[in-house]
């Protein structure tokens, strides 16, 4: 009987193992459901809030969706009028447009029939609202702040720094993976050593070096210091070690130069590892904060992160712009997440580094 089959199906655990649902599974699903709310909820709230008008953002308690008051054109009125749901003295509820407000009394008209005028106490009316996206939160910062400039700076830093990182890291990895030479041990140790030196403890002297190189307040001051990454050298070296040595020997027989072997044979074969490093580098650079904060002091060289931080001090009362800019800063990361999440997680899983 179909009903019986249905009930037995519902009682069964449907994960393919055929075991009945253990209570720990229930707890696990509840935990995971809470996790989804706690991890995605805040980001969703940010995105929803970023589409609210400035006045809607000041509401307390806040509404879930971005609402705006409906406005209607009424013949005989020069401007659009806000629409309210008003409770009239005779008990009927009608949708009326407000012409003006005098003290505690609102003068209202029926939008369908403007000759009908009403006087309504302001606590007897409620705004009629509809879901509306305040896209001006996104378009206005483009004109009011050098937003495009910051965006450009961030993209420039991310792209150039990633290309430099890929190039010099892969060269070093190739040198360490393919050759036997005096000092190889020392070079490998030196790379390990740099793993232990985070930028937090050499902030001041790197600032001196950058100043002496004449790079202060240029984007190169952000790009260059972090370009050589020990993580990248290791990642690529480990991968290159798995490539067959015969390939390189054969190329040498064919009179290929060492440089040619590097970029025509080894680089294409290392592409998967290079892709992982590229994704990492993009994330690092796009999100970098402390070092740019220390070295960039002029507004025109601010990256998005630094600009956001500066604005959150200045724009405390203008959350609508701040939220929209935060969303824009988040978009590339969200894209990376959607398309490349698997590669990053396997990358971290196999190297234990981020």
Nearer to other proteins, 12 or 73 (CB): 12
Instruction: Kindly tell me which residue out of 7, 116, 259, 314 binds other proteins, with binding defined by CB under 8 A.
Output: 259
Instruction: Kindly tell me which residue out of 105, 208, 247, 250 binds other proteins, with binding defined by CB under 8 A.
Output: 208
Q: Which one, of 146, 237, 152, lies nearest residue 191 by Cα? A: 237
Per CB under 8 A, which of residues 69..88 are in contact with other proteins? none
Asked if 26 interacts with other proteins (CB under 8 A), we say no
Asked if 187 interacts with other proteins (CB under 8 A), we say yes
For every residue of the chain, which 3-state class applies, written as one string? CHHHHHHHHHHCCCCCCCCCCCHHHHHHHHHHHHHHHHHHHHHHHHHHHHCCCHHHHCCCCCCCCCEEECEECCCCCCCCEEEEEEECCCCCEEEEEEEEEECCEEEEEECCEEEEEEEEEHHHEEECEEECCCCHHHHHHHHHCCHHHHHHHHHHHHHHHHHHHHHHHHHHHHHHHHCCCCCHHHHHHHHHHHHCCCHHHCHHHHHHHHHHCCCCCCCHHHHCCCCCCHHHHHHHHHHHHCCCHHHHHHHHHCCCCHHHHHHHHHHHHCHHHHHHHHHHHHHHHHHCCHHHHHHCCCHHHCCHHHHHHHHHHHCCCCHHHHHHHHHHHHHHHHHHHHHHHHHHHHHHHHHCCC
- Region from 34-42, 73-81, 82-90, 101-109 binding other proteins, contact rule CB under 8 A: 34-42
Instruction: Kindly tell me which residue out of 1, 10, 32, 102 binds other proteins, with binding defined by CB under 8 A.
Output: 32
Q: How far is the CB of 255 from other proteins (least distance, A)?
A: 10
Asked if 89 interacts with other proteins (CB under 8 A), we say no
Asked if 133 interacts with other proteins (CB under 8 A), we say no
Q: How far is the CB of 75 from other proteins (least distance, A)?
A: 39
The CA angle 60-63-69, to the nearest 5 degrees, is 100
- Region from 65-73, 87-95, 131-139, 316-324 binding other proteins, contact rule CB under 8 A: 316-324
Per CB under 8 A, which of residues 285..314 are in contact with other proteins? 286-287, 289-290, 293-294, 305, 308-309, 312
Per CB under 8 A, which of residues 141..170 are in contact with other proteins? 159, 163, 167-169
Asked if 319 interacts with other proteins (CB under 8 A), we say yes
Nearer to other proteins, 78 or 182 (CB): 182
Q: How far is the CB of 170 from other proteins (least distance, A)?
A: 9
Instruction: Kindly tell me which residue out of 17, 75, 92, 143 binds other proteins, with binding defined by CB under 8 A.
Output: 17
Asked if 135 interacts with other proteins (CB under 8 A), we say no
Over the window 46 to 65, marking each residue x when it contacts other proteins by CB under 8 A and - when it does not, the resulting string is x--x--------x-xxx---
Per CB under 8 A, which of residues 215..254 are in contact with other proteins? 224-228, 233, 238-239, 242, 252
- Counting Cβ atoms within 10 Å, is residue 335 exposed (0-12), middle (13-18) or buried (19+)? exposed
Nearer to other proteins, 83 or 166 (CB): 166
Asked if 175 interacts with other proteins (CB under 8 A), we say yes
């Amino acid at each position: 009987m179909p009903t019986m089959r249905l009930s037995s199906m519902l009682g069964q655990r449907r994960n393919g193992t055929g075991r009945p649902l253990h209570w720990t599974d229930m707890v696990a699903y509840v935990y995971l459901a809470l996790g989804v709310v706690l991890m995605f909820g805040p980001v969703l709230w940010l995105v929803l809030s970023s589409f609210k008008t400035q006045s809607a953002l000041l509401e307390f308690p806040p509404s879930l969706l971005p609402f705006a008051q409906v406005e209607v054109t009424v013949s005989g009125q020069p401007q659009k009028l806000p629409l309210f749901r008003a409770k009239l003295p005779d008990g009927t509820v009608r949708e009326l447009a407000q012409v003006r407000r005098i003290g505690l009394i609102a003068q209202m008209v029926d939008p369908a029939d403007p000759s009908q005028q009403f006087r309504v106490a302001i606590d007897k009316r409620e705004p009629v609202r509809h879901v509306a996206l305040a896209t001006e939160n996104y378009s206005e910062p483009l004109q009011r702040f050098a937003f495009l400039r910051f965006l450009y700076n961030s993209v420039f830093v991310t792209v150039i720094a990633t290309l430099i990182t890929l190039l010099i890291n892969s060269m070093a990895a190739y040198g360490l993976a393919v050759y036997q030479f005096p000092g190889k041990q020392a070079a490998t140790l030196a790379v390990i050593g740099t793993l232990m030196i985070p930028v937090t403890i050499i902030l001041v002297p790197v600032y001196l070096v950058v100043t002496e190189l004449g790079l202060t307040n240029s984007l190169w001051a952000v790009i260059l210091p972090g370009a050589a990454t020990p993580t990248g050298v290791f990642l690529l070296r480990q991968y290159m070690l798995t490539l067959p040595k015969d390939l390189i020997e054969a190329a040498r027989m064919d009179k290929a130069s060492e440089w040619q072997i590097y970029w025509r044979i080894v680089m294409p074969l290392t592409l998967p590892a290079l892709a992982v490093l590229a994704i990492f580098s993009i994330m690092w650079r796009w999100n970098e904060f402390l070092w740019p904060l220390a070295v960039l002091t002029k507004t025109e060289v601010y990256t998005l992160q630094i600009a956001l931080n500066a604005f959150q001090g200045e724009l405390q009362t203008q959350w609508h712009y701040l939220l929209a800019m935060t969303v824009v800063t988040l978009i590339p990361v969200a894209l990376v997440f959607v398309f490349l999440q698997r590669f990053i997680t396997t990358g971290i899983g196999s190297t234990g580094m981020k």
